[in-house]
Copies of this chain bind each other. A is one copy, B any other.
Amino acid sequence: MNRKATIYDIAREAGVSTATVTRVVRKDPHVKEATRLKVQQIIDAHAYTPSLSAQSLESGRSRTLAVVLPVISNLYFNRILDAAYWEAEKNSCSIRLFQTMENQVISPVLVSELIRCRMDGVLFAGSIWSADRDDLNTALAKLGRYMPVATICPPDVSLECICIQSDLVNCSRLPVRHLHTLGHRRIAFLGGSMHSKDTSRRGIGFLEQLRLMDLPDDPAYHVDAGYDMESGERAVLRMLSGLDSSRWPTAIVTFNDLVALGVMKQLKKMGLSLPQDMAIIGCDNQFFCAYTDPSLTSVDLHPEEMAQSAVRELLLARESSSRSFAMVRDATLVIRESCGAQLGFRKL
């Protein structure tokens, strides 16, 4: 690392003023061709590019968005990050990543870190919704003083920011209706942690759908199952071993595809054949859904499109005075083999 060249170095070496260097960099036409060439040559020799810090300081914008999510290893968030990245890139912005882990609240440290970075916008996704609503709005308001804020959030969370909401009604309705059509009556939900407001919201929607369709909503069919494969394995074992086999559900809806993966493994281990003995529906439509055995029917919440909208709105909000509004993205059921629909199975 010899020496980082600055605009002064370039100017001195080229025998011109810094203003001229800026003009050359900015491709300002008001520069004599001879000067332009000489300066450009020195620029190339040093691989010089104006410093972003200096530019940001001067212009008041960093051309950088923050994306805050629990973990990128969760494929749902991974897809959000990826989509946000490309949408930002399309607008010559880059992304600064923040992971909050299982933290259910926005920490003051994170808020001040975000402010410190003077981002052109922040996108929050997941896992902050269980925080106290007022605390959350206070934190968002603080941030809002410095930058536009967007969230990808459940539909009943109305926060003072740009809210891109997923369609949790259909996220529950679609699988239940599909299973109902296939003749299933006893449907279980293995979902997230009941202590998280985010998850229990999904669970509640599920119960509502059961009632709407006059299906049994036995509490034994509604089990706390975490968010990963191991939790799925354990939860389904716990649920089934607690029930007389005559009362077993014939179908299981899971919080996400990872839980479904665990459930399928455990069911096979117990000697059931899928989808004949048990129908399964996951959520998120992850890449591996087409490659499980049987392939997994799943709900797609279209996280990419939500992330895209969020980034677009953030960049717009940067210009105009910031706005606070909500928009809902619908859900889609992707039907594969795990309920037997494509195989022509039907519960009677």
Contact = CB atoms under 8 A, between A and B. Distances in A.
Interface of A: 1-5, 46-54, 56-57, 60, 62, 64, 71-73, 78-79, 81-82, 85-86, 89, 94-99, 111-113, 115-118, 142-148, 229, 261-262, 264-265, 268, 287-288, 290-293, 321-322
Nearest to A228: B287
A293 B115 CA distance: 48
A96 B99 contact: no
A265 to B, nearest CB: 5
B47 A2 contact: no
Nearest to A48: B115
A272 to B, nearest CB: 13
Q: How many copies does the complex hold?
A: 2
7 contacts: A50-B116, A51-B116, A53-B53, A78-B78, A82-B99, A85-B97, A292-B293
Contact of A291 (B73, B85, B261): B261
B57 A1 contact: no
A81 to B, nearest CB: 6
A177 to B, nearest CB: 28
A152 to B, nearest CB: 17
A1 B291 contact: no
Those 4 A-B pairs whose CB atoms lie nearest each other, nearest first: A53-B56, A47-B142, A49-B116, A53-B57
A287 to B, nearest CB: 7
A73 B62 contact: no
Contacts of A118: 4, 51-53
Given A47-B112, A57-B51, A287-B229, A96 B94 contact: yes
B115 A47 contact: yes
B79 A73 contact: yes
A54 B57 contact: yes
B288 A1 contact: no
Contacts of A265: 291, 293
Contacts of A262: 291
Contact of A47 (B71, B72, B97, B111): B111
Given A47-B115, A261-B288, A147 B322 contact: no
